[in-house]
Amino acid sequence: MWLLATLAAVALIGWVLVDSFETVVVPRRVMHRFRFARLFYYAAWSTWRRLALCLKSGKRREALLSWFGPLSLLGLFASWVLGLIFSYALLQWSLGLEIHTPDGSASFFNYFYLSGVTFFTLGYGDVVPVTTLGRVLAVCEAGMGIGFLAAIISYLPVLFQAFSRREATIALLDARAGSPPSAGQFLLRLARSGSMATADPFLAEWERWSAELLESHLSFPTLSFYRSQHDNQSWLSALTCILDSCSFLIIGTKGSEAYQAQLTFAMARHTAVDLALVLKVPPVSPDDCRLPREQVAALREQLHEAGFHLHDEADLDEKLTELRAMYEPFVEALSRRLLFALPPILPHDASVDNWQRSASQPRPPGIGNLPGAEEGEGHF
């Protein structure tokens, strides 16, 4: 019995250390299945997701969902710490190592208390190991505790910097594509401004953003659960909006004009597919079409009036369907799993952008007179 307990304690220490090393230190995707962090997030998110679905969609549900990312990270760290403390207590108890206690007892609780005090280097001295092996284990646990806590503390700034970079670029999409962002609004505002030439630098920036999103979310999968500052924005809606926009630009332009759109589409699609694989989300067919045929015709007409003429209009629907089939099953699966709303390609109603509103003031006057805006609309 003591041998099994000893082996279990050693195995648990190794499992926690390997899992924390792969999660915090290793900057790449880890492929093997039996990871504590993966099991923890699967169980925690499944429970949290069910609780959120019990609420009506709206601010309360979004507020509850926004808490999951930070709380789950703290819960994961606490689980690792408790696992190490419990493992060292089990190891000393299974080996029967003598300890000095105020009441002279040597229960498992005393070993657990000694392990906790040692891990956090409190040094009360009321419960101490007596044997040489016990003292060696105490020194090892104290050193491990200092190093483990230091690694966790250094992990947080890197995580929040990646989150900040992601959200800063998403915020830039607000005035360009609406709230929530949509490909139709992006193309219409770009065409109405008469600056279609600025599309390439913009898409190049989003090509890099997609690459950074892929790298950061592969290294730190917990970032996938961190939600944006506004309820009508998310990293998934921004990624989908860029994919939709690139699809229209690819079929709407030819030659060198479509090259940057093709590059951005390739990177964004690669990001959507890989993140679906990392989160173990198989692609699914969308329940409804985000762009019915009548909306395609309406968007084509609006773009034509704004000065952007789509080429090959005869087979526009067919080519657009082919491009959308390359990424929509993956973003739809991510949307269902993470409870992110996918943006419409062409909004049904005019909406006010996030930058145009506040909790205490109405929309500023003269908004419709901004460059590229339509008079009387609440957006560019």
Residue 31 sits in a domain of what CATH number? 1.10.287.70
- Shared domain check, 120 and 193: no
pLDDT computed for residue 286 by the predictor: 80
Residue 164 forms part of a structural domain: no
In order of 57, 222, 223, 282, 333, the CA distances from 51 in angstroms are 12, 19, 20, 23, 20
pLDDT computed for residue 177 by the predictor: 87
Confidence grade of residue 361 (pLDDT, cut at 50, 70, 90): low
DSSP 21: I
Which of 121, 155, 189 corresponds to the end of one domain?
155
- Shared domain check, 281 and 324: yes
Residue 358 forms part of a structural domain: yes
CA triple 235-20-115, angle to 5 deg = 135
- Shared domain check, 348 and 237: yes
pLDDT at 273 over 60: yes
CA torsion 154→160→161→162, rounded to 10°? 110
Residue 113 forms part of a structural domain: yes
- Shared domain check, 294 and 186: yes
- Shared domain check, 15 and 150: yes
- Shared domain check, 316 and 195: yes
- Shared domain check, 179 and 221: yes
Residue 348 forms part of a structural domain: yes
pTM confidence score:
0.85
- Shared domain check, 253 and 111: no
CB atoms within 10 A of CB 103: 7
Mean pLDDT of 325-340: 94
Confidence grade of residue 193 (pLDDT, cut at 50, 70, 90): confident
- Shared domain check, 263 and 120: no
Residue 378 forms part of a structural domain: no
- Shared domain check, 92 and 196: no
Cβ atoms 246, 324 nearer than 8 A: no
pLDDT at 368 over 50: no
CA distance 360 to 380: 22
Which of 155, 182, 215 corresponds to the end of one domain?
155
Name residues whose C-beta falls within 8 Å of residue 350's C-beta, 6 or more positions apart in sequence. Answer: 377, 378, 379
Q: Give buried/exposed letters for 239-264 (b at 16+ CB in 10 A, else e).
A: bbbbbbbbbbbbbbbeeebbebbeeb
- Shared domain check, 60 and 95: yes
pLDDT computed for residue 378 by the predictor: 35
Residue 380 forms part of a structural domain: no
pLDDT computed for residue 351 by the predictor: 63
- Shared domain check, 10 and 118: yes
Which of 95, 127, 155 corresponds to the end of one domain?
155
CA torsion 349→350→356→359, rounded to 10°? -30
pLDDT computed for residue 2 by the predictor: 80
CB atoms within 10 A of CB 128: 16
The number of domains in the chain is 2
Give me the domain span that covers residue 185: 173-369
Cβ atoms 101, 128 nearer than 8 A: no
Residue 354 forms part of a structural domain: yes
H helix runs in the chain, sequence order: 2-20, 36-53, 59-95, 108-119, 132-172, 174-177, 183-192, 199-219, 235-252, 259-278, 293-306, 316-324, 328-338
Residue 99 forms part of a structural domain: yes
